[in-house]
């Protein structure tokens, strides 16, 4: 029973992360009135401030991409795979 509750809890957390990632993307590309200028600045202009912003945010976006892939592929990034197999965590869960 405890393992089932743990699995359900992690499933809820993963769904929450997916919703947060989708809402963040929606905000970044639709809400700001200057989104066209934002995309143009990264695509066309070469200014040190924009380059610095990309380099500073790159590790965060790499983590978001990696964690999203883990959620989609049903891989638990928290526990090592051997522990996950031994405890049978997340077995049979699917979206």
**pLDDT tens digit string along 31-80?**
666 667 766 766 676 667 767 777 788 888 888 888 877 777 766 555 55
95 pLDDT band, cuts 50/70/90, is very low
Residue 45 makes CB contacts below 8 A (sequence gap 6+) with none
Q: What are phi and psi of 91, to 5 degrees?
A: -75, 125
DSSP annotation string for 41-79? HHHT---HHHHHHHHHHHHHHHHHHHHHHHHHTT--SSS
CB 76 within 8 A of CB 89: yes
């Amino acid at each position: 029973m405890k393992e089932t509750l743990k699995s359900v809890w992690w499933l809820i957390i993963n769904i929450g992360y997916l919703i947060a990632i989708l809402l963040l993307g929606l905000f970044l590309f639709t809400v700001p009135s200057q989104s066209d200028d934002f995309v143009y600045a990264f695509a066309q202009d070469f200014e040190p401030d924009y380059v610095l912003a990309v380099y500073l945010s790159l590790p965060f976006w790499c983590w978001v991409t990696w964690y999203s892939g883990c959620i989609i592929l049903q891989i638990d990034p928290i526990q090592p795979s051997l522990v996950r197999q031994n405890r049978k965590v997340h077995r049979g869960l699917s979206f």
